[in-house]
Amino acid sequence: MGYGAASIQGSGFGPYLSDNLINNAKEIIDLGVNDPDLFLVLALFEEGIGPDRISDMTANIIIEDLSVFSEKICSFLKINTDEFSCNGKLLKFPTNPVNPKLPIILLPKEILRDLPIATDWDGVSSAAAQNQDIRDKINKAIGDIWSTKSRKVKSFIRDQIRSNKNAFNLILAAMHEVRKAPYDYENDPEGFITWQKYIREIMDIRPGAFQKWTNKKLSIEDIISLVDEILLQFKLLVEKKGLWKEFWAGDKNRPEKSAQRLFFAVADSFCKAYDLDLSPEADSGRGPVDFKVSQGNKKVLIEIKLSNNTNLVTGYINQLELYKESEETAHAVYLIIDLGNSGKKEDELLRIKNEYNSKKYPLSQIYIIDGSRKISASKTK
């Protein structure tokens, strides 16, 4: 329940946020709103309260129930447990072999879902969109002003809603319209799970072409060649070994993040084997580039885009060039997963690349992998 880039520690609220949270909740309750779901929209009223802190708060509230659940599972599976101090009480959780001071908390899948319904005011419109009547009422109340996107005006509206029971209940009604269901683990529409099952298979792949980089200090040319081999291996897995299936959940493609996780599963094993640093979402100062493969100050950037990304062309011409400038490297790859719906965008990219090359201003390498849905051999005639 939460997020951690480099740590499993929770964010917590701290005294300042706790005081503001209590004050905001009291204001809302004083209006006559007694629906406990008011906490669903806390992020709308307080800067710094987002998915991570809301999940921490939820876990703290139900921690004793989670202990009972964890102990029951451990008893059934004959897993050792230890006592941990949580909120002033000693509770039992599975023994943590990595860090004995921290508990492993087991969670029933049924209580887990994707991101909270609304973590900013844009999320309100998304939630309200699921009910025409509520959407019309919200649009009538604040739609014209909200469309200005002015931070000052939005702050004013936020204060108005916080002091108006009917307005606040409208927002709550929008939240209630969202389908209450746990995450779909079977179809895994966001691709959170599917990529992990390929890690063991990928770890066993050691093509002979990689042997020439063993036990040597790599030059930038070596790193570029190694990245090319990683891309080639990824292409083989996608196009020839069925990995393309993991880009899809039914007849809908999974989001770009899912493709990035699959690539990470492939690239990480190779980079570790050859003492390369693979940094996912490395922040270059211009925002996070998807991947940075480096050894010391020698770097190759990799940006991954699905072919249906509306920013496919501008991401190549502008975004990736800014990343290269920030990272002080001339080497990058623009990896496109072709879902079979790119139209003429890929041709346009190649035309632009050739045009820049002819002007002695080379752009980044473009690498295209076919991730489109394939017709089963049994269905072909």
Other Cβ atoms closer than 10 A to 185: 10
**pLDDT of 352 higher than 50:** yes
Q: How confident is the model at residue 6 (pLDDT cuts 50, 70, 90)?
A: very low
Single out the residue in 126, 146, 176 at which a domain terminates: 176
**Residue 347 domain-assigned?**
yes
Residues 245 and 135 in one domain: no
**Residue 294 domain-assigned?**
yes
Task: Enumerate long-range contacts of 143-147, CB under 8 Å, 24 or more apart.
Answer: 146/121
Residues 113 and 209 in one domain: no
Residues 160 and 109 in one domain: yes
Residues 248 and 141 in one domain: no
Residues 234 and 324 in one domain: yes
The mean pLDDT of 22-44, rounded to a whole number, is: 76
**Residue 6 domain-assigned?**
no
Q: What gap in Å lies between CA 127 and CA 175, rounded to an integer?
A: 6
Identify the pLDDT of residue 150.
Answer: 46
- Give the best-scoring range by mean pLDDT among 137-146, 260-269, 357-366: 260-269
Single out the residue in 176, 202, 228 at which a domain terminates: 176
Structural domains of the chain, count: 2
Q: What is the CATH number of the domain that holds 348?
A: 3.40.91
User: How many percent of the chain have pLDDT more than 70?
Assistant: 67
Range of the domain at 291: 194-379
Token duo for residue 80: 């050792």
The pTM assigned to this predicted structure is 0.64
**Residue 3 domain-assigned?**
no
Which helix (DSSP H) or strand (DSSP E) does residue 220 occupy? helix 220-239
Q: What is the pLDDT of residues 355-368, one digit of tens each?
A: 887 776 778 899 99
Residues 209 and 341 in one domain: yes
